[in-house]
Homo-oligomer: A and B are copies of this chain.
Amino acid sequence: MAIDFTLEDDVVAYRDRIVAFVAEELIPLEQDTFRTGLTDDLRRDIQTKARARGLWAPQAAGEYGGGGYDYLQAATLLEAAGYSLLGPLALNCHAPDEGNIHLLTAVATPEQKERYLRPLIGGEWRSCFAMTEPPPGAGSDPAALQTTATRTDGGWVIAGEKTLITGADGAGFSIVMARTGDEAGAATMFLVDADNPGWVVTDHVRTIDSVAVGGHCRVLLDDVAVADDAVLGDVGRAFANAQVRLVPARLTHCMRWLGAAQRAHDIALDRANNRSLFGEPLVHHGMAQQLIADNEIDLAAARALLWHATWQYTTGAKGTEQSSRAKVFVSEATFRIVDRAVQLAGGMGTTDELVIGRIFADIRAFRIYDGASEVHRMSIAKRAARRMAEQQH
């Protein structure tokens, strides 16, 4: 065993098939999708096409219908899927479902897996993850959770408000975090079916991104009654379970957005190859070269750091610190890349038509969700300081 960056043959082959699928099936659909928005009809259509090519949920557990690849292998596959904003959805490796699949695989009961996980991996329905709340509730600080679940005879009643719940509109079920005790940290996860009468998707938050099927919703939990078997993981373990979900969820976000950033760069570079400015090809201009080179460097560095963090996670590290570092770097690097691509492409760079503008608007929130850069930096610094203090003793 030594440092090695060789991709396995079957990963390369799978990736190449994704590349072809994205080019042949998804990119031709993008412009219409940007015009009309991302619907479940489109989702079913492109998921059918992906499955027909044997491209499906590469990161999901094999025994429940996924590809069975580990996250380090998935890094290459999800990046390839992310090359189109439609790719992750088509391959059923998009957020928030990918994270929910991972969480259910890790902590659900066998019955819950049959009922929720298998059809979720199968693409029969979508899901959402209901954690964030309007102020002063849970956001960057999950501990501020306001939604409560109260014990009743044989079950629980959940009451509260959630916001920015991605994919809620049209989801088949939700994983809901609620407070189940007075002590700090006493919270529990529940599986709530979308047809539960207390689960009310009130409206969509009007965000500048466009490619979340089901939008980013406000949800009212209006005395949602659930039975005991709706508890996901154990009572009181919501925060621990959220951590189980969070590390790989961050890493797969990085994988997907790296693909989107590569796409923006490629479009801008191809265009720069074919345009002239002041009588010279655009790519001969030094400042254009700087934009291009900085993108090449950021792409390479982001990928290397992401692989390193993912390797640490797949080989047994808890991965909190490594995924924090990767998430901050990759989210900021991909933003820089896309921003440079906009600039390189000029006026058309801010349009849906050249796709770069769409990626620019969609990627902005990545520096915020799954932990804002600032929150990760706080956590990284505290760990580093503690490690140094221990080392000096």
Contact = CB atoms under 8 A, between A and B. Distances in A.
Interface of A: 1-8, 34-35, 72-73, 132, 135-136, 139-141, 143-144, 163-164, 205-209, 266, 269-270, 272-278, 283, 285-290, 292-294, 296-297, 300-305, 307-309, 311-312, 322, 325, 328-329, 342-343, 346-353, 357-358, 360-361, 364-365, 367-369, 372-374, 376-378, 380-382, 384-385, 388-389, 392
A292 to B, nearest CB: 4
Nearest to A286: B286
Given A297-B329, A297-B380, A300-B305, A277 B140 contact: yes
Contact of A357 (B208, B348, B353, B376): B208
B353 A368 contact: no
Copies of this protein in the complex: 4
Given A141-B278, A307-B304, A385-B272, A290 B293 contact: no
B351 A392 contact: no
Interface of A: prevailing SS: helix
A316 to B, nearest CB: 12
B347 A292 contact: no
Given A1-B6, A389-B273, A380 B292 contact: yes
A75 to B, nearest CB: 8
Given A347-B139, A347-B368, A368-B349, A289 B292 contact: no
B350 A293 contact: no
A168 to B, nearest CB: 14
A131 B369 CA distance: 41
12 contacts: A5-B311, A136-B275, A164-B348, A207-B352, A273-B389, A283-B381, A286-B288, A287-B289, A287-B378, A292-B385, A300-B305, A360-B364
